[in-house]
Structure 1
Amino acid sequence: MKIRITIGLIFFLSISTFSYASRIDTLVVHSSVMDKDIKNVVITPDSYSEKGKAFSVIYLLHGAGGDHKDWLKKAPEIKTYADFYDVIIVCPDGYKTSWYFDSPVDPTMQYETYISKELISAMDTSYNTKSNKENRAITGLSMGGHGALYLAFKHHDIWGVAGSMSGGVDIRPFPLRWEISKRLGTYAENPGNWESNTVMNLVHLLDGKNLKFLFDCGVDDFFYDANKGLHEKLVERNIPHDYIERPGGHTKAYWRNSIKYQMLFFNDFFKANTYETQID
């Protein structure tokens, strides 16, 4: 694996006055599985320069049509959150419509392997990270919300906490949208690919102990029914989780509000595990 680096809640009432000094890098990782270079935004907090210090890492996945710069455009305050919570934030380029699968029909689209193995390894090699699941989080919006839960449900040995904002947690109702058929084949000809790669059908991978997660969706969002359905399925199976629904649609304003709560959720998880480690 080749790696190249280019320099490139919170108390909600006080966050707007918090002065950030975080640094933004572009980490370029060569994906062996796809044989191409992939760009990733990496935001390090001001305290990163402190000698001998290691940091928890939060991975933020973009939605359909986005790229590694998408989160900085939609919610530039994530630079502040990196400082405020003293964490590293990583925004991978998941291609415009990868859906973060390892595509069974397109070998050039292997983003599950890229995110969960190649990028994790690159981050832990290139940055001062706390390289364990207790200090690693993943979330995203829309396609990225699906991707975050998809990856966390399948790899809860890698991520200890996860989230989703307006996530497409059930892709089956959308067989003609967002190029999903290019990643899985058409639903009519490849129903098994769709059934086995939708978050809704991955609940059986959860034991209620190895992953803490939060997901939310606006009641006016076209993914609302899917998110509510996932919540109900988890309740039926007695799988602990946090679920929030609030007014709002599939909009930047909704995600800018949502990420504040998810950052707080992740911070609580990191702090709780730090305390438990100290006690042990």
Structure 2
Amino acid sequence: MKKTISQALIFVFVTLPIFTFASVDTVSTYSKTMDKEVKSMVITPSNYDEESQYPVVFLLHGYSGNYTSWLENAPETEKLADLYQMILVTPDGNFDSWYWDSPVDPKSQYETYITKELIPFIDDNYATIAKKEGRAITGLSMGGHGALYLAIRNQDIFGVAGSQSGGVDIAPFPENWNMKAYLGTKAESPSNWEDYSVMGQLHLLSQNKLPLIIHCGTNDFFYQVNLKLHEELTYLNIPHTFTSNPGGHTWDYWKESVQYQLLFFHNYFRENPSE
């Protein structure tokens, strides 16, 4: 018996994956404090909707880097904006600013820039959760120091913070990374080297007010200062997540670390809804 066409043909439906990409904007904001334009990259989810509200994570680059460093060296980071439905902002830290308001150089006022100029710009121009429960900050190396330093000093602005291989205690490194250009020499201005270090800000912390996540590889030259920070936080009974695992001061380490840190932030945002 002959088969009809409808009997002879077998249709197989295959669902193909839909590939979407986050959107990346380069923005320039004028800093009145420093009298200059400062660039940032802003990464929004592929389904970004102006009628929605998104949490924001600020990612700070390390020494000798700039606002493009995260996406140039860890391009997969932009996919995490989609995965966790968050906005990522990568501000320029002027190569070596350490994100301080320098007591020596009035043209290097990055704490004021980020907290009082950049954040209002992001909130005014993007669909953000414009309160601390919707805002996180982290970074690598110099940026890891900057993230904790800014968050601890501005707990009304940041709800959660992290550090990846951060230079969290600057005291052992008085001749490194041009820090003395912004603080004065350690011999001439010893108090600056205490006051402008993460370790010098711990007295501002209290239990369960600012969740912290700290990563550092055991082969990193900043490992001992990160271990010291962990021990001091433990002594002060400040809750925090500290991970030390094999790894050095490398992008391979940071590309893995940032995934865990953004998951940590995602869980925080989910547990602290905007309404």
Normalised by the length of structure 2, the TM-score is 0.92
Amino acid in structure 1 at the alignment position of 2:117: E
**Residues 54 and 127, structure 2, Cα contact 8 Å, conserved in 1:** yes
Equivalent residue for 1:220?
219
Specify the alignment match of 1:250 in structure 2: 249
CA–CA distance in 2 between the matches of 1:214 and 1:117?
24
Tell me which residue corresponds to 2:117: 118
Partner of 1:158: 157
Unaligned runs of 5+ in 2: 1-16
What does residue range 102-251 of structure 1 map to in structure 2 within 5 Å? 102-251=101-250
Aligned to 1:85: 84
Aligned to 1:34: 34
Q: Is the 8 A contact 1:19 1:80 kept in 2?
A: no
The residue type paired with residue 112 of structure 2 is T
CA distance in 2, matches of 1:142, 1:222: 10
Larger C-alpha radius of gyration, 1 or 2? 2
Partner of 1:22: 22
Query: Could you say what secondary structure the match of 2:88 adopts?
Result: strand
Which amino acid is the alignment partner of residue 37 of structure 1? Answer: E
Task: Give the Cα separation in 2 of the matches to 1:242 and 1:118.
Answer: 30
For 2:165, give the aligned amino acid. S
Q: Which runs of 4+ in 1 moved over 3 A?
A: 17-20
Query: What is the count of residue pairs matched by the alignment?
Result: 259
One-letter amino acid of the structure 2 residue matched with residue 148 of structure 1: A
Provide TM-score, normalisation by structure 1: 0.91
Alignment gaps of 5+ in structure 1:
1-16
Listed one character per residue, the Cα deviations across residues 75-133 of structure 1 (whole Å, up to 9, x for unaligned) are: 11111001111110000001100000000000010001001111001101111111010
- Cα pair 1:101 1:197 within 8 Å, conserved: yes
Partner of 1:8: none
Could you tell me how far apart the structure 2 residues matched to 1:185 and 1:259 are? 33
Note if contact 1:18-1:80 (Cα within 8 Å) is conserved in structure 2. no
Q: Is the 8 Å Cα contact of residues 44 and 81 (structure 2) preserved in structure 1?
A: yes
The answer (yes or no) to whether the contact 2:50–2:126 under 8 Å persists in 1 is no
* C-alpha separation in 1, matches of 2:197 and 2:128: 30
Find the aligned partners of 1:256 and 1:184 in 2 and give their Cα distance: 31
Distance in 2 between residues matched to 1:65 and 1:123, nearest whole Å = 25
SS of the residue corresponding to residue 164 of structure 1 reads strand
Measure, in 2, the Cα distance between the counterparts of 1:214 and 1:150: 13
Query: 1:222-277: per-residue Cα shift (whole Å, max 9, x none)?
Result: 00000000000010110111100000010010000100100110000001112xx6
1:59 aligns with 58
Q: Distance in 2 between matches of 1:242 and 1:208?
A: 13
After superposition, the CA RMSD in angstroms is 1.2
Question: How far off its partner does 1:21 sit?
Answer: 1.6
Q: Structure 2: how far apart are the matches of 1:177 and 1:221? A: 16
The superposition leaves residues 26-83 of structure 1 with CA deviations (integer Å, 9 ceiling, x where unpaired) of 11100000000000000011121x3511110000000000000000012111110011
Q: Is the 8 A contact 1:187 1:194 kept in 2?
A: yes
* Residue in structure 1 matched with residue 12 of structure 2 by the alignment: none
SS of structure 1 residue aligned to 2:47: helix
| Aligned AA (1:43) | I
Distance 2:95 2:194 in 1: 22
Q: CA deviation at 1:18?
A: 8.5
In 1, distance between residues paired with 2:55 and 2:117? 18
Letter in 2 for 1:28: S
